[in-house]
Structure 1
Amino acid sequence: MLRPFLFGLALLLPLAAPAQVIRPVSEKSSFQIALEGERPVLVLFQGKNCAACRAVEQWIDQMSGELAGKVDIVSLDVDENPYTKQEFGVEGTPTLLMFQNGEQTGGMVGATGRDDLRAFIAQSAKLAL
């Protein structure tokens, strides 16, 4: 009787933790370096207690297979990095900015659905997704 229960429980648990697709950066460490990469860079400006930010993170994680090797993804906590927040005019979270060769190519403020997020990334990074 215990064996079927454990087998059913095993089916509900993930086999492995999801890969970290979004790399956290800070203004003191690697933010500027991240923007100067060869690939387009998607920056997620977010807050610690922002539920909408978590939703956007989830959509990005779900698209990780499509984005792998095409777009670098970093996140920046706006509470811990106020100067960068101010420099880029971020007023609300989540804010998504796309950069290519260090230049901003697109921006989006607020949570959005997966299809709209995919379209934003494709257009801003000039990719077919």
Structure 2
Amino acid sequence: MAVAHTNDQTFASDIQSGLTLVDFWAPWCGPCRMIAPVLEELDQELGGAASIAKLNVDENPETAQAFKVMSIPTLILFKDGKPVDGAVGVQSKSALQEMINKHK
């Protein structure tokens, strides 16, 4: 599996089933670039227990506004289409694993 990219048009279908951790980010954001390799590594280790998607807030403002994303990176964990957890700022891989494991 690889980290998927989502957008305003596909977002609802991308998060509709199972656990999906969405990274709200932008290319110019330093902390967003710092967390990207952590998300890639986590995606490899999850082995299908959850999926990870990235949403560029500059290109997809509707979804970012709908979830009141004010700072990036913002990570929101969705379960079957509904937000169940989240964090703002760079997170450790273990903190993200813990968040996902809580909602399995």
TM-score (norm 2): 0.90
Residue 96 (structure 1) aligned to one of 47, 52, 75? 75
- Offset at 1:63? 2.0
Q: Which runs of 4+ in 1 moved over 6 A?
A: none
Residue 33 (structure 1) aligned to one of 4, 9, 13? 13
User: Conserved in 1, the CA contact under 8 Å of 2:27 and 2:33?
Assistant: no
Residue 77 (structure 1) aligned to one of 46, 53, 56? 56
Number of matched pairs: 104
Per the alignment, in what secondary structure is the counterpart of residue 41 of structure 1? strand
Unaligned stretches of 5+ in structure 2? none
Q: Percent identity?
A: 30
Q: Which structure shows the higher strand fraction?
A: 2
Report which structure shows greater RCO (CA 8 Å, sep ≥6): 2
TM-score (norm 1): 0.74
**Aligned mates of 2:75, 2:61 — CA distance in 1:** 16
The structure number with the bigger radius of gyration is 1
Name the Cα RMSD after superposition: 1.5
